[in-house]
Chain A
Amino acid sequence: MAFYFVKRLGLSALVVGTVLLVLFSLLHMIPGNPAILALGTRATPEAIAEYTARMRLDEPVWVQFVHFVSQALRGDLGADVFSNRPVTAVIGDRIGFSLALILTGMGWAVLLGVPLGCLAAVRPRSWVDRVTGILSVGTIAVPSFLVAIWSLLLFSLQLHWLPAIGAGEPGDLSDQLSHLILPAFAIGLGWVGYLARMVRASMLEVLGEPYIRSARAFGLPPRRIVGGYALRVAILPTITLIGMGFGGLISSAVFAEIIFARPGVGKMIFDAVSDRNFPLVQGGVLVATAFYILVVLVSDLVIAWLDPRVRSSL
């Protein structure tokens, strides 16, 4: 297990490095003078020169890359081009909101999707299965940004049940929770369908296994067979899917953060790209990538912990 962990950690570092390299290359392939783009078309030559020197834009790209990586390893992601605040502080202001949104979005999707999948598998071809199937495909097909807009129009503009924008009053937990409902609903809805379909398929396969038949023959209660034996095995591919799903949710969260005007790392990266605020883009993407890789790593470790066969094959 320890060897597996170290191996995965090494691979993760490699992925982060590759992502950064690609990002750096892409940023420098954007046409136009980054100094003019960042400072505006009427910026003075002195301001452009100062910006160019401060951002090391006059140095070769590989030198800039090496400098960024070496600083990042020391925990220094640079400074915001405009406010000069440390990028780590800017990200720190927002990452909590992103994590809350992503975890809540995936959390409610798991709480609903997994039981729905189980229910559909236990009663295949019943009306429950058919309704679950239709709902699952329906929720998967609708893009999350459309769900965000529709839910905002319905629950905020028409019904006035929930707030439309922001993250709530600082220090007011109930206000913050009420501001979290619609965005989390929007980004999580599609995942209810994904998870329900995945769990149903896995459960159907597992429920046909000989050990499940044996359990039934021994007269164990159906709830225990499904929850205690079948789901424990059927959930393994779903855990992988959830891990991968966090990557998708980081993207979905950008739309939700823009539409609901919530602070978050995704929206911060989006704005920073528009403003050519390269240090923020690099820092934000680095943190988002690291978060994604961490989640995938954790999901792999959980699978290895749950399934001895995976451990033995390491």
Chain B
Amino acid sequence: MTVRRTITTRRTFLASGAALGAIGLVPGGAGMVRAQEGRVLNLRLEGDNAILDPGYMIGGTEVEAQKQCLPFLAEYVRDGDTFSWQPTPYVTRLEYADDTHLEFELAEGLVWSGGNGTVSASDVAYSYARMKDSEWSGYFDALETVEVTGERTGVLVLNKPFAPFIMVTLCHGPGAIVCEKATEAVGGRFTTEFPAICGPYTYSQTPGQRAVFERNPEWTGPAPGFDRVVAHVITEVQAAELAYEAGEIDCTELGPDSLARYTETLPPNTAITTAGELQYLWMGMNTQHEKLQDIRVRRAIQHAVDVDSILAGAFAGTSPKSYGIVAPGLLGKRNETSYSYDPAYARQLMDEAGVTGLELTLRTLNWQERLLTAQIIQANLAAIGITVNILPMESGPFWEMGMEEAGDTWQDLQLWLMRFATVPDPYEATQWFVSEQVGIWNWERWTDEEYDRLYEEGLSENDPAKREEIYLRMQQIMEDTGAYVWISHDPEVYAHRADIEINAAPSGELDYHRFEPV
């Protein structure tokens, strides 16, 4: 036998490199792979899914993964301009027996992967019991226990009437059901792999690159619209927009600038869908600060800020105007405020208060649109004789500046721009402003007994008309303190191929198995 020695010379090395490069340039490699794979949906993933366990997840795309691989009892549904819920294919019945008893019956034939048996009511009981001790326990404060009444039937028992329970808890990530047997087998907690799945798709992840969802052969429910979903890790939204325009992904979230551009000229075969507008941005005022104690000064500021200019100048006209903390699509959303942009009246209020030469500090996160917002407010308030110094801040000190336990900054707090995200029920947004939140999240530092009482009433009231009345009144109380200038509800907007109908939760999480080719 002759063994031939291979010698790598400079020339052969260069030739090999050139050949490999040429192979790489041959178009169609990836496309051919895709063509063989059936209907493939390419999406964006903001980052690696670090914790898939509903009890300890970070949220966002981890909820998206759970929705594909784990059972839920209820799911969001858009009803015109509002959000509602419906039972998922995992249940044949989900209904209130009374204010505190929610009965469910699981569908037949649901099996966990890996030979872990069928999905049972005891899995529901196990899942929600562990959630009460988890980092997301707040979502289960109203749950007393889960009574198992049969192999597939049970009752969720609430410790008090809690109207938003289905919308806020069962439809969202914390409502995911895990397999008791498989979860216990991995020590009761898991991170980047599901111990067992039961859903339309299987899940695999290549860290830093992608998460892949393949059709689950054991799934007996409705077939998903796509055979394979590839979610590419693209951390920056601008990079994702470029990838969308290059045709490499089929759907991406849009930032405000791109939304304005797309609204003007839509790329070919593109449609835009707004998932929800569950964020509220406002300018807050510290009612206890000596410079802002006089309500006439606070009201003057309310009348001096031109919110329409802010929406046009800082948000390119893409964010809807806010009239309170309850977001569009939710019960209790306001359509007007009791103040309006009126600099002349604002000056009159300042004169009545006898305040001249007022100098205030406006703190904001150092984000582009916030700084633009701050600059417009600075110009608006200068027109009524108030000098505003803008203090851009990094997220660390910003998020604790109003907390009493984090130092003394709360005493110097005067004006700030704040945005909170909320859930598809008005109770969540109102909870941060009750009296016991002063010094925690109520940085405006006012208290009102009626507000506190209405908050409790809103939780237990099931009549939508009465609930709406409650939340409208609560926002009016907030506004009457003079401590708020409502600005915007930033939308979660997606650009996607026009021949795909997408499905997203109001808070923006995509539900891949409910995407449909049109």
Within 8 A of B (CB), among A167-196: 167-170, 172-178, 180-181
Q: Are B30 and A175 in contact (CB under 8 A)?
A: yes
Complex: A180 Cα to B25 Cα, angstroms: 10
Q: Which residues of A contact B240 (CB under 8 A)?
A: 261
Q: Given A164-B242, A174-B26, A169 and B208 touching (CB < 8 A)?
A: no
Q: Which of A81-89, A290-298, A301-309 forms part of the interface with chain B?
A: A81-89
Complex: A169 Cα to B240 Cα, angstroms: 18
Q: Which residues of A contact B248 (CB under 8 A)?
A: 163-166
Does A43 lie at the interface of the complex (its beta carbon under 8 Å from any beta carbon of B)? yes
Q: Are B51 and A82 in contact (CB under 8 A)?
A: yes
**Closest chain B residue to A168, Cβ basis:** B30
CB distance from A168 to the nearest CB of B (A): 7
Q: Are A174 and B239 in contact (CB under 8 A)?
A: no
**Which of these, B21, B23, B235, contacts A261 with CB under 8 Å?**
B235
Q: Are B207 and A90 in contact (CB under 8 A)?
A: yes
Q: Are B243 and A261 in contact (CB under 8 A)?
A: yes
Q: Given A157-B245, A157-B246, A263-B233, A44 and B137 touching (CB < 8 A)?
A: yes
Q: Given A41-B399, A80-B50, A163 and B23 touching (CB < 8 A)?
A: no
Q: Are A33 and B400 in contact (CB under 8 A)?
A: yes
CB distance from B434 to the nearest CB of A (A): 15
Within 8 A of B (CB), among A216-272: 258-261, 263-264, 267-268, 271
Q: Are A32 and B29 in contact (CB under 8 A)?
A: no
Q: Which residues of B contact A268 (CB under 8 A)?
A: 208
Q: Are A37 and B23 in contact (CB under 8 A)?
A: no
Does A94 lie at the interface of the complex (its beta carbon under 8 Å from any beta carbon of B)? yes
Does A201 lie at the interface of the complex (its beta carbon under 8 Å from any beta carbon of B)? no
Within 8 A of B (CB), among A10-26: none
Complex: A153 Cα to B243 Cα, angstroms: 10
**Closest chain A residue to B27, Cβ basis:** A161
Does B247 lie at the interface of the complex (its beta carbon under 8 Å from any beta carbon of A)? yes
Q: How large is the interface on B (under 10, 10 to 19, 20 to 34, 35 or more residues)?
A: 35 or more
CB distance from A162 to the nearest CB of B (A): 8
Complex: A271 Cα to B209 Cα, angstroms: 14
**Closest chain B residue to A152, Cβ basis:** B242
**Which of these, B21, B47, B242, B399, contacts A157 with CB under 8 Å?**
B242
Does B268 lie at the interface of the complex (its beta carbon under 8 Å from any beta carbon of A)? no
**Which of these, B29, B206, B236, contacts A170 with CB under 8 Å?**
B206
Q: Are B239 and A82 in contact (CB under 8 A)?
A: no
**Closest chain A residue to B209, Cβ basis:** A263
Q: Are A181 and B24 in contact (CB under 8 A)?
A: yes
CB distance from B35 to the nearest CB of A (A): 13
Q: Which residues of B contact A157 (CB under 8 A)?
A: 242, 245-246
Q: Which residues of A contact B208 (CB under 8 A)?
A: 93-94, 97, 263-264, 267-268
Does B138 lie at the interface of the complex (its beta carbon under 8 Å from any beta carbon of A)? yes
Q: Are B209 and A166 in contact (CB under 8 A)?
A: yes
Within 8 A of B (CB), among A48-104: 80, 82-85, 90, 93-94, 97
Complex: A166 Cα to B240 Cα, angstroms: 11
Q: Given A152-B242, A170-B206, A165 and B232 touching (CB < 8 A)?
A: yes
**Which of these, B23, B233, B394, contacts A174 with CB under 8 Å?**
B23
**Which of these, A39, A83, A160, contacts B50 with CB under 8 Å?**
A83
CB distance from A261 to the nearest CB of B (A): 4
Complex: A160 Cα to B239 Cα, angstroms: 16
Q: Given A31-B397, A82-B50, A263-B209, A175 and B29 touching (CB < 8 A)?
A: yes
Complex: A260 Cα to B248 Cα, angstroms: 12
Q: Are A85 and B192 in contact (CB under 8 A)?
A: yes
Does A314 lie at the interface of the complex (its beta carbon under 8 Å from any beta carbon of B)? no
Q: Which residues of A contact B23 (CB under 8 A)?
A: 173-174, 177
Does A47 lie at the interface of the complex (its beta carbon under 8 Å from any beta carbon of B)? yes
**Closest chain B residue to A277, Cβ basis:** B50
Complex: A271 Cα to B33 Cα, angstroms: 31
CB distance from A228 to the nearest CB of B (A): 14
Q: Which residues of A contact B48 (CB under 8 A)?
A: 83
Does B172 lie at the interface of the complex (its beta carbon under 8 Å from any beta carbon of A)? no
Does A156 lie at the interface of the complex (its beta carbon under 8 Å from any beta carbon of B)? yes
Q: Are A33 and B406 in contact (CB under 8 A)?
A: yes
Complex: A273 Cα to B30 Cα, angstroms: 33
Most B Cβ at <10 Å: residue of A166, A169, A175, A268: A166
**Closest chain A residue to B30, Cβ basis:** A175
**Closest chain A residue to B398, Cβ basis:** A32
Does B184 lie at the interface of the complex (its beta carbon under 8 Å from any beta carbon of A)? no
**Which of these, B14, B29, B47, B400, contacts A271 with CB under 8 Å?**
B47
Q: Are B191 and A84 in contact (CB under 8 A)?
A: yes
Q: Which residues of A contact B234 (CB under 8 A)?
A: 165, 261
Q: What 1/0 mask marks residues of chain B from 3 to 26 whose CB sits below 8 Å from any chain A CB?
A: 000000000001000001101111
Q: Are B239 and A263 in contact (CB under 8 A)?
A: no
CB distance from A90 to the nearest CB of B (A): 7
Does B158 lie at the interface of the complex (its beta carbon under 8 Å from any beta carbon of A)? no
Complex: A42 Cα to B320 Cα, angstroms: 26
Q: Which residues of A contact B26 (CB under 8 A)?
A: 174, 178
Q: Are B135 and A263 in contact (CB under 8 A)?
A: no
Q: Which residues of B contact A212 (CB under 8 A)?
A: none
Does A6 lie at the interface of the complex (its beta carbon under 8 Å from any beta carbon of B)? no
Within 8 A of A (CB), among B202-223: 206-210
Does A207 lie at the interface of the complex (its beta carbon under 8 Å from any beta carbon of B)? no
Q: Which residues of A contact B395 (CB under 8 A)?
A: 32, 37
Does A2 lie at the interface of the complex (its beta carbon under 8 Å from any beta carbon of B)? no
Complex: A172 Cα to B206 Cα, angstroms: 15
**Closest chain B residue to A261, Cβ basis:** B234
Q: Are A169 and B24 in contact (CB under 8 A)?
A: no
**Which of these, B33, B47, B246, B396, contacts A30 with CB under 8 Å?**
B396
**Closest chain A residue to B34, Cβ basis:** A169
Q: Are B24 and A174 in contact (CB under 8 A)?
A: yes
Q: Which residues of B contact A44 (CB under 8 A)?
A: 135, 137-138
Does B371 lie at the interface of the complex (its beta carbon under 8 Å from any beta carbon of A)? no
CB distance from A40 to the nearest CB of B (A): 8
Q: Are B135 and A94 in contact (CB under 8 A)?
A: no
Does B58 lie at the interface of the complex (its beta carbon under 8 Å from any beta carbon of A)? yes
CB distance from B81 to the nearest CB of A (A): 28
Q: Given A41-B399, A164-B248, A177 and B232 touching (CB < 8 A)?
A: no
Does A36 lie at the interface of the complex (its beta carbon under 8 Å from any beta carbon of B)? yes
Q: Are B243 and A178 in contact (CB under 8 A)?
A: no
Within 8 A of A (CB), among B124-171: 135, 137-138
Complex: A176 Cα to B245 Cα, angstroms: 21
CB distance from A65 to the nearest CB of B (A): 21
Q: Which residues of B contact A170 (CB under 8 A)?
A: 206, 209
Instruction: Provide a sorted-by-A list of 18 A–B residue pairs whose CB atoms are within 8 angstroms.
Output: A33-B396, A37-B396, A43-B135, A46-B135, A82-B50, A82-B58, A83-B51, A161-B25, A161-B27, A164-B246, A165-B234, A165-B242, A165-B243, A166-B210, A167-B209, A174-B23, A176-B24, A177-B21
Having A33-B406, A37-B396, A178-B25, one finds 6 other A-B pairs with CB under 8 Å, namely A47-B135, A156-B242, A174-B24, A181-B24, A263-B207, A263-B233
